[in-house]
Structure 1
Amino acid sequence: MKRVLVVYYSQSGDVRNALEALTAPLQAPDVEISWLRIDTTPPYSFPWGPREFFDCMPESLNGEPPPLAPVGLDQGERFDLIILGWQVWFLSPSLPIQAFLTASEAEVLRGVRVVSVTCCRQMWQRAYARVRALIARAGGRHTDSIVLTHQGGSLAGYITAPLLMITGRRAKRALLPAAGVARGDIDALGRVGKRLLETRDRWAEPEPTPLLSDVAPVNLNVGSLLPEAAVVPPMEAIARLARRCGRPGSLARQPVIGLFVLMLVTWLPVVLLASALLTPVARVVFARRLNRYVRGLRP
């Protein structure tokens, strides 16, 4: 019997839907699947209030998650494969995922192959690097990533992703695409799940190698990487300043949070437009090295 643990956090439903599509082909007599939805204490609401949404930015970037809610995982329980479903908050892993990966419960990853499934807008590369580092710190063997990005390009996601989180609505708006991951992209994960089932004899191999690189290749979007590189330093500076001013919910740090929102409204669109102009050149110069990095190889 092969044992699979699906660890996830989902608010809008995209991550849960993606994991259900991925694991549907794993329903086999010799495969046992356990689901573990994680959360924090206190939990985050959905949809968010605008103030609550932006107020979690400092902790997301600073790596200061709230306590993990009890998960009911038996100590010492072992699995052959762990699938981790997560999302990106402010260019960082969501705080519930950070809470799990830094808690004692992450011991379940030790020595086990980990496949990560990400649902996010196009700017995910920094968060991906952090998740991979946290999995390694917990002793997990991260071998494969599946990345599903929101509909539309970077400029569209810049608008539709916050609207989804604050309103909970996905419908198309004027010239904007529907928010979130396209249903077709989620349904396509069935093919990836079939590959996982076919390779189940390799899940526990001593020196694990990628299983899904040909059916679920992860390619860096250079057009999104450039704006990430431009906005991360000021975002980190604002996050540190906000944290010095107070803890989450503190009125004292709200002017700093307002400065962050002002940066999003004024500077980030300029960065995205400039990146769109530079992307063709950057793709030629850097794409091969960056994609090797995503696959965990030496650049």
Structure 2
Amino acid sequence: MEISWRAIETVPRYPYPWRVREFFECMPEAVNGEPPTPVPTGLDPAERFDLVIIGWQVWFLSPSLPIQAFFTAAEAVVLRGTRVISVTCCREICQRAQARMRMLIRQAGGVLTDSIVLTHQGGSMVGYLTAPRLMLSGRREAGALLPAAGVAQHDIDGLARFGVRLRKTQNRWAEAEPGSLLADLAPTDINTSALLPEMIGAAVMTLFARVARRCGRPGGLLRLPVIGVFMLTLVILLPVVLAVSALLTPVLRILLPSRFPRRTANAPG
């Protein structure tokens, strides 16, 4: 098989590790769906593929700004009528971002047949500490009181099973009515205890994103106080929300079993 590998870049580029202000300055545009200018990847818009695998990240409960930027480029037309597999790395809070990603792929004419989600190790409460450390310092190793940050190595190694399946089903990639190729391999297993924090977080971020955007573009002095209040709200509110969610989710599973199942697979469509 022939593989065409493309990195997605934008103007401006985003640093890693992040600086605190630069990281939080991305929130309004990520939430509001206002990506930066994409850098051409070199794809020929007239070219067609049998399969497209899109790797992306979750920023502030939304698809990252670089991946949002790709869908504004003329090159996104290569997805039209093509089977797409989504691969993302995030914390357990990702349902809203997945829904937006499905919409972006559908609007580009792609056919999303499978979604693979890797989540950070340690759960929501631990990730509240390890994820910022990873983003702001680049440190992944375990500390005296904290486990290693990011995705566990055994989960990364486990991705090989998807590659093996894709190789064995290569004759199906370009089928006229593509169906899932990976469903029985459990590509996604979402902890639904994260659904309540995500609902609350989405409401808070949407409010701050709209207010910040009214105060100007990234780097503007008028929106700095809004970003500062958002940072403070997130630091104070998130641990409270996670704790309350841990208490309420068992009750909601009884009262609303369809909305809060114990585990859920992320449907691709």
Normalising by structure 2, report the TM-score.
0.94
Deviation of residue 75 (structure 1)?
2.6
Any conservation in 1 of the 2:114–2:268 contact (CA below 8 Å)? no
Any conservation in 2 of the 1:222–1:282 contact (CA below 8 Å)? no
Aligned to 1:42: 12
Any conservation in 1 of the 2:77–2:108 contact (CA below 8 Å)? yes
Deviation of residue 176 (structure 1)?
1.8
SS of the residue 2:184 aligns to: coil
2:203 to 208, 225, 233: 233
Aligned to 1:97: 67
Change (3 A) 1:42 1:296: closer
2:186 to 216, 233, 249: 216
2:158 to 184, 188, 212: 188
Deviation of residue 185 (structure 1)?
0.5
Paired positions, count = 266
Deviation of residue 288 (structure 1)?
5.3
Change (3 A) 1:296 1:193: closer
Q: What amino acid sits opposite 1:93 in the alignment?
A: P
Aligned to 2:93: 123
Any conservation in 2 of the 1:102–1:134 contact (CA below 8 Å)? no
5 Å-filtered alignment, 1:1-299, equals 31-283=1-253, 285-286=257-258, 287=260, 291=264, 294-296=266-268
Aligned to 1:16: none
Change (3 A) 1:79 1:289: farther
Rounded Cα–Cα distance in structure 2 between residues aligned with 1:121 and 1:291: 15
Q: What amino acid sits opposite 2:51 in the alignment?
A: L
CA RMSD across the alignment: 1.6
Deviation of residue 113 (structure 1)?
0.3
Any conservation in 1 of the 2:44–2:75 contact (CA below 8 Å)? no
Deviation of residue 296 (structure 1)?
4.5
Rounded Cα–Cα distance in structure 2 between residues aligned with 1:52 and 1:167: 13
Rounded Cα–Cα distance in structure 1 between residues aligned with 2:38 and 2:247: 42
1:213-232 Cα shifts (integer Å, max 9, x gaps): 11133233211111001121
Aligned to 1:19: none
Deviation of residue 204 (structure 1)?
0.8
Structure 2: 5+ residue runs without aligned partners?
none
Q: What amino acid sits opposite 1:83 in the alignment?
A: I
Rounded Cα–Cα distance in structure 1 between residues aligned with 2:135 and 2:79: 30
% identical equivalent positions: 63
